[in-house]
Chains A and B, each alone.
Chain A
Amino acid sequence: MKNISFAIVIIAIALAACKSSNNKNVAQNKINDSSAHTSGQVSPISPVNGILHIYLKMKNAFVNDDDKEAAKEGKGMLKALNDFDTSILKDNERKQFQDMAGDMKENAEHIGANAGNIKHQREHFDMLSKDMYDLVKTSAADEKIYVDYCPMYNDNKGATWLSETKEIKNPYLGKEMDTCGSIKEVLK
């Protein structure tokens, strides 16, 4: 009798392995980042600023070589993007925003899931920075944003990032060479 129930368990496990899990979203709902909840204000720019602020916190985590903090912000950004209310956008802006947000979500997800592999996180941060630049460029930020460029990162292929400070603090090379780079553009 024991053996039969044992066999049933094995078959059940085998069948369960065929199904894909649908529980991914549950864990994400638990993350609560206050900066993602600045919506409900009159200006349609504010939610973009919420995302920008998470980005800047993530950037500063990379400056400090802090992979865990960066992962936390990655998860926060994924949630902020998922919660973004696109009904505040004009019809012609919505499609472009969704395209940008779709790519940002993927990059944020990789950063969120790769604590312990800061090299991989930084590769996605490079891409996220490009999207973030496009997003801030199209929607304008509330504050002065510096676009910085480091020519050395990624085998001298170079990379850009956004910063709230005039002072250069490199998120790609971290503490190793944190002053490498220059201001390329200023967004207002």
Chain B
Amino acid sequence: MSLIKKIGLIALIVIIAIQFVRPASNKSRHILPSDISKVYNVPASVQSLLKNACYDCHSNNTNYPWYSNIEPFGWWLASHIRRGKEELNFSEFAGYSAYRQRSKLFSVGRSIEDGTMPVPSYSLIHRDSRLTKEQKGLIIGWADKIKDSLNNANK
């Protein structure tokens, strides 16, 4: 066997072996009492945008694409989801302090405005997550409105 063949064989074995190391999936059947929709008014139009553009990484319920079943893509996704939920998890929003909620809603608006969210590489693959100018305005207006109501409540 030539060296190239040997390396190829080993690479194949590694690729097969890693398929058995699967990350836990981010799926929850229930909507938690701490879900943002349980404590604040989320209009249906905004809710569906959040679901398509944000919830894959910012909630307890990811709508997995087919390639998530292939490693190492599944791992890569899992690490994105973990970091996304750490930063903001809409499923656990009510558990945040009023200060944190205020900051998070502010950041929702700014990151959509700046185009840093949804992450461009994610939108490249997930067409549903691409937001039109009007859709962006809808989410930003909603987030800023709740943020301002929190601001006033704190004073």
Contact = CB atoms under 8 A, between A and B. Distances in A.
A6 B10 contact: yes
A20 interface: yes
Interface residues of A, number: 30
B47 to A, nearest CB: 24
A5 to B, nearest CB: 11
Contact of A11 (B14, B72, B98, B106): B14
B114 A18 contact: no
A134 interface: yes
A100 interface: yes
A102 B100 contact: yes
Contact of A20 (B3, B14, B82, B114): B82
Contacts of A155: 113
Contacts of A130: 102-103, 151
Interface string A86-109: 000000000000011011101100
A7 interface: yes
A125 to B, nearest CB: 11
Interface of B: 3, 6-7, 10-11, 13-14, 17-18, 21, 23, 72, 75, 79, 82, 97-100, 102-103, 106-107, 110, 113-114, 116, 144, 151, 154
Among all A-B residue pairs, the 4 with the closest Cβ atoms:
A99-B97, A103-B99, A127-B103, A7-B10
Given A6-B7, A7-B13, A106-B100, 15 more contacts: A6-B10, A18-B21, A20-B79, A20-B82, A100-B99, A102-B100, A103-B99, A106-B103, A107-B103, A120-B116, A126-B106, A127-B102, A130-B102, A134-B154, A154-B110
30 contacts: A3-B3, A3-B6, A4-B10, A6-B7, A7-B13, A10-B14, A14-B14, A14-B21, A14-B72, A18-B21, A18-B23, A18-B75, A99-B99, A99-B100, A100-B99, A102-B97, A102-B99, A103-B97, A103-B102, A103-B103, A106-B100, A106-B103, A119-B114, A123-B106, A123-B107, A123-B110, A126-B106, A127-B102, A131-B103, A157-B144
Interface of A: 3-4, 6-7, 10-11, 14-15, 17-18, 20, 99-100, 102-104, 106-107, 119-120, 123-124, 126-127, 130-131, 134, 154-155, 157
